[in-house]
Chain A
Amino acid sequence: MGAEAGSIANEEVRPARSLWSDAFRRLRRDRLAVLCLLVVLAYAAAALLAQFGWIASPWEQEVGKAFAPPSFDRLELIMGTDFLGRSVLYKVVHGARVAMSVGLLASLISVPIGVLLGATAGYFGGWWDDAVVWFYTTVASIPGIMLLIAITLMLGKGMTAMCIALGATSWVHLARVMRGEFMKHKSREYVVAAESLGAGHSARIFRHIFPNVSHFVIINFSIQFMGAIKAEVILSFLGIGAQGLPSWGVMISDAKDELSRWVFWPWLNGTTPVWWQLAGATSAMFFVVLALNILGDALRDALDPRIK
Chain B
Amino acid sequence: MTVYLLRKLLGTIPTIFGVALIVFLLFHVVGGDPTYQMLGKYATAEQVAELRHQLGFDQPLHRQFVGFLREIVTFDFGESYATKQKVSRMILDGIVPSLSLTLPAFFLTTLIAVVIGLLVAYFRGRWIDRVTVLLCVLGMSVPVLAYILFGQYFLAYRLQLFPIAGYDPEWPERLVYLALPILISVMVSVGFSVRFYRTALIEETSQDYVRTARAKGLSEPRIYLKHVLKNSLVPIVTNVVMDLPLLVLGAFLLEKFFGIPGLGGITINAVHDSDFQVIKAMTIFQSFLFILGNVLTDVAYTLVDPRVSFDGR
- Taking Cβ atoms with an 8 Å cutoff, the residues of A that contact B are 134-135, 137-139, 141-143, 145-147, 149-151, 153-155, 230, 233-234, 237-240, 249, 252, 256, 259-260, 278, 282, 285-286, 289-290, 293-294, 297
Q: Are A233 and B143 in contact (CB under 8 A)?
A: yes
Chain A CB within 8 A of B31 CB: yes
Interface stretch of the complex, out of B65-73, B109-117, B209-217, B270-278: B270-278
Give the contacting residue for A151; candidates B19, B26, B249, B294; CB below 8 A.
B26
Q: Are B22 and A139 in contact (CB under 8 A)?
A: yes
The 4 A-B residue pairs with the shortest CB-CB distance in the complex, in nearest-first order: A138-B18, A154-B31, A290-B141, A282-B146
* Given A146-B282, A149-B267, CB of A155 within 8 Å of CB of B30: yes
**A290: B residues at CB distance < 8 A:** 137-138, 141
Q: Are A150 and B143 in contact (CB under 8 A)?
A: no
Total cross-chain contacts (CB, 8 A): 108
In this complex, what residue of A is CB-closest to B283? A146
A83 to B268, CA, bound (A): 25
A135 to B17, CA, bound (A): 11
Chain A CB within 8 A of B14 CB: yes
* Given A150-B279, A240-B271, CB of A289 within 8 Å of CB of B286: no
Chain A CB within 8 A of B301 CB: no
Q: Are B18 and A150 in contact (CB under 8 A)?
A: no
Per DSSP, are chain A's interface residues mostly helix, strand or loop, or mixed? Answer: helix
Near A by CB (< 8 A), chain B positions 127-184 give 137-138, 140-146, 149, 153, 157
Q: Are A238 and B287 in contact (CB under 8 A)?
A: no
* Given A142-B19, A239-B272, A278-B149, CB of A153 within 8 Å of CB of B279: yes
In this complex, what residue of B is CB-closest to A145? B252
Q: Are A153 and B141 in contact (CB under 8 A)?
A: no
Q: How far is the CB of B151 from chain A (nearest CB, A)?
A: 12
A155 to B32, CA, bound (A): 10
Chain A CB within 8 A of B229 CB: no
Q: Are B141 and A289 in contact (CB under 8 A)?
A: yes
Give the contacting residue for B253; candidates A150, A234, A293; CB below 8 A.
A234
**A294: B residues at CB distance < 8 A:** 137
Q: How far is the CB of B147 from chain A (nearest CB, A)?
A: 9
* Given A146-B267, A150-B279, A239-B272, CB of A138 within 8 Å of CB of B146: no
- Taking Cβ atoms with an 8 Å cutoff, the residues of B that contact A are 14-15, 18-19, 21-23, 26-27, 30-31, 137-138, 140-146, 149, 153, 157, 246, 249, 252-253, 267-268, 271-272, 274, 276, 279-280, 282-283, 286-287, 290-291, 294
In this complex, what residue of B is CB-closest to A238? B271
Q: Are A150 and B137 in contact (CB under 8 A)?
A: no
A297 to B141, CA, bound (A): 13
* Given A137-B15, A138-B15, A141-B290, CB of A150 within 8 Å of CB of B141: no
Give the contacting residue for A147; candidates B149, B274, B283, B291; CB below 8 A.
B283
Q: How far is the CB of B45 from chain A (nearest CB, A)?
A: 23
In this complex, what residue of B is CB-closest to A248? B143
Q: Are B30 and A154 in contact (CB under 8 A)?
A: yes
Q: How far is the CB of A301 from chain B (nearest CB, A)?
A: 13
Q: Are B149 and A259 in contact (CB under 8 A)?
A: yes
A294 to B14, CA, bound (A): 39
* Given A141-B15, A286-B142, CB of A150 within 8 Å of CB of B27: yes
In this complex, what residue of A is CB-closest to B264? A145
A147 to B274, CA, bound (A): 15
Residue pairs across A and B with Cβ atoms less than 8 A apart, 19 shown, are A141-B15, A141-B287, A143-B246, A143-B286, A146-B267, A146-B282, A153-B271, A154-B31, A233-B143, A234-B144, A239-B271, A259-B149, A259-B157, A278-B146, A282-B142, A282-B146, A285-B143, A293-B140, A293-B141
Q: How far is the CB of A299 from chain B (nearest CB, A)?
A: 14
**B30: A residues at CB distance < 8 A:** 151, 154-155
Q: How far is the CB of B38 from chain A (nearest CB, A)?
A: 13
**A285: B residues at CB distance < 8 A:** 143, 146
User: Which of B142, B145, B157, B290 is the most central at the interface, judged by chain A CB atoms within 10 Å of its CB?
Assistant: B145
